[in-house]
Structure 1
Amino acid sequence: MNEQKSKITANIIIAVIAAAAIVAASLILANGVEKVKGGGNRIIVTGSAKQQITSDLIVWTGNFSAKSPSLQEAYGILETDKSKVHNYLISQGVPEDAIVFSSINTTTNYMILPNGMYSSDIDYYELNQTVTISSGEIEKITDISRKVTELINEGIQFQSNPPQYMYTKIADMKVTMLAEATKDAKKRAEMIAENAGNKLGSLKYADMGIIQITPLYSNEVSDYGMNDTYSLEKEITAIVHCEFEIQ
């Protein structure tokens, strides 16, 4: 009998504690709502806007080199190869003004002694040069970047680098996307305010966050922003942090 009374007493104590906790939580929530309803309260939300873009500029580079124990001979070989590269690109329909050759980079290589140390005697000179094409004809230049190594058959030590794909109207898009991201932030703020029984006031502050330019369907992000240049089709995401007044 005493044991049964003890159980009943324990249950009553637990119920009282639970009721007290509920009352306390209600008071805290009520105070919180009261603070939100105060005239000087504000809410900070994050909005975003996404848009798919197609690159409108391709930048492709290729490297070719020449080696010889004689610097003059290496230079002569490189000049001949440069002419062949130039003629090849012209034959593929690349405009003259789209082809840019860099200055020549010269590396002096020294002979290696039996002990593995370098001697002061020159083994050979290696000269390198880069050709760059910037164009809006993306399909054509992409195709050239894949088959230009045909020049190897002409004895040219040529290396084709992966093309980079750019979008030149990013600056114009930022204004539009900032407006769209701000609208998204406002919708989020309105939902939060309504759920709390309040009304959303005016926008007090807006700060554009990092722009992310990523390949389609990619989940990659960076605190410093991403700028994918290896995908033709991309997605641009704009983030904005907004502060609204709560009425």
Structure 2
Amino acid sequence: MNNNNQAGILFAAFLLATGIAAAGHFVSQTLYKSKVALNTAEVKGLAERRVEADTAYWSIQYTVTGKSKSEIPALYKDSEADQNKIISLLKSSGFTDHEIQPGIINYLKKEFRDEDQKLVEEEHILVGEITVETQKVRLVSEVRSNLNTLIAQGLDIKNNPPAYHFTQLNKIKPAMLKEATTNARIAANEFAINAGVEVGGIRSARQGGFVIRDVGENYGDTRKIEKEVRVVTNVTFFLTD
């Protein structure tokens, strides 16, 4: 056998050996990764808090009505008088100028006509609005009933339901996420005990969205002062023998 043939055979044998070694490496890597993927547990962790709304938005509308255009100047005076009465009551109840925001007075006109489109009657309406934005959420619920005294005096008032909001979510997020993760580990430990293994470190974690709901409600978060905040995390733990 000449030298050229020997070199060719040796080179072919080298390539074959290298291929087998590489194939073995990739097989072992595949088996390792498969084992890691199998030896994990994905669990959910829940955290809940009951909180109180910290900000309230409340609007009060007041209306005066006249039958002719000539009454409009007097209607504006009556509307301003009603506005002052409402603001005075709000201040005497504990709200400040900063929390009370008088709005503009809107003018509306209604016409009533017969079959021949002849004008039979008309109404000239002024509608004003006062909004209250405050952190005294309990005071809002108390003062709402006090407006009845103004209604008894003849004021045409629409006492709209307040909207109660919880705006301090960022303050409780870290503690709630920690609690949710702890609860996820507790669930993983239960799984591990039944499987005869132990829980290791976290492989991955996904945080769900925070949800705020009025207490006792499945949806809605502005009607009640009491709220429930909840978050669910999905955590995948390594399992060890």
Is this a same-fold pair by TM over 0.5? yes
Correspondence 1:185 to 2:178: no
Secondary structure at 1:39 match in 2: helix
Preserved contact between residue 212 and residue 227 of structure 1 (Cα < 8 Å): no
> Which residue does the alignment assign to 1:128?
127
Aligned pairs, how many?
Answer: 206
Listed as ranges, the matches of 1:81-100 within 5 Å are 81-100=82-101
Q: Contact 1:40–1:246 at 8 Å: present in 2 too?
A: no
> Which residue in 1 is equivalent to 2:6?
none
Write the distance in 2 (CA, Å) between the matches of 1:90 and 1:246. Answer: 63
CA contact (8 A) 1:47 1:181 kept: yes
1:64–1:129: 8 Å Cα contact kept in structure 2? yes
User: Deviation of residue 143 (structure 1)?
Assistant: 1.6
State the match for 1:54 in structure 2. Answer: 52
Deviations for 1:83-137, whole angstroms, at most 9, x for unmatched residues? 221222223232111111223333332223338xx77898223222221222233
Question: After the TM superposition, which residues 227-246 of structure 1 pair with which residues of structure 2 at under 5 Å, given as runs?
Answer: 227-246=220-239
Other-structure match for 1:102: 103
Distance 1:178 1:113, change over 3 A: farther
Q: Aligned-residue CA RMSD in angstroms?
A: 3.0
* Preserved CA contact (<8 Å) 2:63 2:157: yes
Please name the residue that 1:40 is paired with: 37
The CA distance in 2 between the partners of 1:62 and 1:147, in whole Å, is 12
> 1:108 and 1:67 mapped to 2: Cα distance?
10
C-alpha distance in 1 between matches for 2:102 and 2:174: 36
Does 76-85 or 205-214 show the bigger shift? 205-214
CA contact (8 A) 1:59 1:132 kept: yes
Listed as ranges, the gaps of 5+ residues in structure 1 are 1-34
After superposition, the C-alpha distances for 1:64-91 in whole angstroms (9 at most, x for unaligned) are: 1122333544433322211221222223
Structure 2 distance, partners of 1:199, 1:83, is 71
Gaps of 5+ in 2: 1-31
Give 1 or 2 for the bigger CA radius of gyration: 2
CA distance in 2, matches of 1:114, 1:99: 46
In the alignment, is residue 79 of structure 1 matched against residue 100 of structure 2?
A: no
Q: Which residue does 2:9 correspond to in 1?
A: none
1:167 aligned onto 2:195 = no
Q: Shift of residue 157 of structure 1?
A: 0.6
Identity over the aligned pairs, expressed in percent? Answer: 24
Residue 208 of structure 2 is aligned to residue 209 of structure 1: yes
Equivalent residue letter for 1:87: S
Partner letter of residue 63 of structure 1?
Q
The one-letter amino acid paired with 1:188 is A
Provide closer, same or farther for how the CA distance between residues 176 and 150 of structure 1 changes in structure 2, counting only shifts above 3 A.
same
